Structure 1
């Protein structure tokens, strides 16, 4: 039996005037997702519990079949696992973004212009993270370069208890009131102020300005957490599998659950990603050593954060054409029974440019399902089914046949 999850990060949205009251999912052409919804089972599910942060960490834990309320220890430790960082029980981690801030002299007076520093390249970013490691690195402080603007800070033998704001939540807003507070805040603020000075005239930023790109002017810390303790996916669901994603967070979740990280050349985490390569990698994995593949695509989420409506619609269409379609065709001819699920982890509405905790549409199709009435895979159609799961982590049990609708 083969199992596949097609996860379009931030794919769900809200009705938009530009689309005459429709959503990007309604506007996009996605016949393969529609097949899953038409011939299978569709409904709405809550991926983010009411008392938890509306992040991709919490939402993807739900989507992969674990209750985040019982295992969540923060976002950054999952990303640290992906980077190969060994964490002790008393270590504290932070996500470290490279961001573009406005030109005011004082940090408190600046505005968050770009949470991704123009989606800085990993090579450029590594040079800037090295500056921070050279200045602050010790047996208690360690910086680890990641992908593009996403990096990791580890404080050894430290305590949690600080308040931190995701930078994508305050795009084009003043940073005052959103800077680190509480535990570890003095050190984090010292690092941020140092980066403002050290990065300002760095050759990386000089080259980026000359090329008309946003410079990376500051580090920004958020996603505080401690070592995760997730059960293996095979123990939970009896299936060996792999994780396909462009972002460290998802690989960290996968590795923490014993899933194989499946690399894809050209996977970027934005709408320029290698959609086709992800589909091909999934098929290769399913045909060799994996009976389960979780295919995560970040592109719709990034488009939502950047308010890129046309690109978000296009990204959904590419997921359908380059990933869902080829994988379904391979499954149809593989000679085994199979089950697939398509879903977003959370909405990232164009209008608000950040995550919301609104329930998401899901659809599950099994190879044994009979052909159904044609229907569109979208928020409206999913709501109209009347099927509602208050705990999205149960979806994996339905996908793997442990539960029945």
Structure 2
């Protein structure tokens, strides 16, 4: 038996008036997700423990069986692992977004989805302007990394949580606040008239006005997936966070050409690479970021389209014999608030019996026979015989 989790990041939502009081999952045409629900079993999954922010880091750690209460130190070190950046003793890694702040307001948490090449240019010149105690590493698009030596931590806010708000009340606080604020100030100086931003303005694109460090932490200790479950696992994702979790867990990180971490990702390629990986692995975690990005954009149309495009390629995986398949989001990203919430999410499993649910959605899955499951227990349930 082989196992697959198909993770539509942020797919869950709330009923929307413009969709006839249906959620995007209820409104979208999803015959393959509905088949998993109809021929399998459903339930609701609590992916964010009480007291934790509803981030993809916490939620995906939970789904992969790692309790955030013992395994989570921050998002930064997970992304550092993906990038091959070593975190030494006394160092903390922070996620470092390229953002656009105008007149003190967070205008765009991703600087117009700036390209990776443009981000690398900006980070190179910022790195040259920073002191020896801070290192910056370019990642994918707006998602970058900052490592601070002699660090103790800071209270920070994810920039995607404060779009349209004044940033004054959300600046870093705590022991590392001084150095983080200094880095932000230096980035404003370096980026102000940078050639990258001049070109972006000329092309009518949003410039990156500065960096925004958040979710810092030290290197976590995570038991290997093989040791934990006795199975060989792999992760398919275009997001450094997921690949970082995979590396720390000793799972294979499977790179897919055309996977972008955005709306234009190659869904079919991800499905094909999932099938290829199952020839050598027992378990594959296929992560698709697009529904979450649409949620952050507040675009109902793009979220429905992302869900439907994901559903189209699920059929490729369902055709594989002797494969247990689960479909779920990691957290809701409601159109209403354009950010994550901690509400339980729907999940459906094909290959673990059958209940009376007929379609895959938030309201339908709540009637499923699995009931409410704590996310760190999901894989044990999936792998049980």
Is TM (by shorter chain) over 0.5?
A: yes
Residue 154 of structure 1 aligns with which residue?
147
Give TM-score scaled by structure 2 length: 0.97
1: distance between equivalents of 2:184 and 2:168?
14
Q: What do the CA deviations read for 1:202-235 (whole angstroms, capped 9, x no partner)? A: 1111111111111111100101111011111111
Per-residue CA deviations over 1:263-302 (Å, capped at 9, x if unaligned) read: 1112111111111111111111112x21210001110001
Matched residue SS, 1:6: strand
User: SS state of the match for residue 347, structure 2?
Assistant: strand
Q: What is the CA RMSD across the aligned residues, in angstroms?
A: 1.4
Q: What is the deviation of 1:362?
A: 0.6
Q: TM-score, normalised by structure 1?
A: 0.92
What is the CA-CA distance between 1:338 and the residue it aligns to?
Answer: 2.2
- Secondary structure at the residue paired with 2:4? strand
The alpha-carbon distance between structure 1 residues 401 and 41, as it changes in their structure 2 partners (threshold 3 A), is same
Paired residues for 1:190-339 under 5 Å: 190-287=182-279, 289-322=280-313, 324-329=314-319, 331-332=320-321, 337-339=322-324
How far 1:388 moved relative to its partner? 2.7
CA offsets 1:335-388 (integer angstroms, 9 cap, x no match): xx321111100000000000000110011111x747x75711000101123643
Structure 2 counterparts to residues 18-37 of structure 1, below 5 A: 18-37=18-37
- After superposition, the C-alpha distances for 1:111-135 in whole angstroms (9 at most, x for unaligned) are 0000000000000000001112111
Match in the other structure for 1:107: none
Q: Return the offset for 1:183.
A: 1.3
2-structure distance, mates of 1:195, 1:76: 19
Aligned to 1:10: 10
Report the alpha carbon displacement of residue 259 of structure 1 after superposing the two structures with TM: 0.7
1:346 partnered with 2:331: yes
Q: Does 1:136 align with 2:130?
A: yes
1:137–1:247 Cα change, 3 Å: farther
The equivalent of 1:116 in structure 2 is: 110
Task: Report what 1:126 is aligned to.
Answer: 120
- Flag structure 1 segments of 5+ consecutive residues without an equivalent: 105-109
- Paired residue total: 385
Per-residue CA distance 1:45-102 (angstroms, 9 max, x = gap): 1100111111000000111112111211111100000000112242111000000111
Contact kept? 2:9, 2:331, Cα under 8 Å: yes
State how far apart, in whole Å, the 1-side matches of 2:6 and 2:256 are: 16
User: C-alpha displacement at 1:390, in angstroms?
Assistant: 4.7
Cα distance in 2 for partners of 1:6, 1:59 equals 14
Cα distance in 1 between the residues matched to 2:131 and 2:287:
33
Give the gaps of 5 or more residues in structure 2.
none
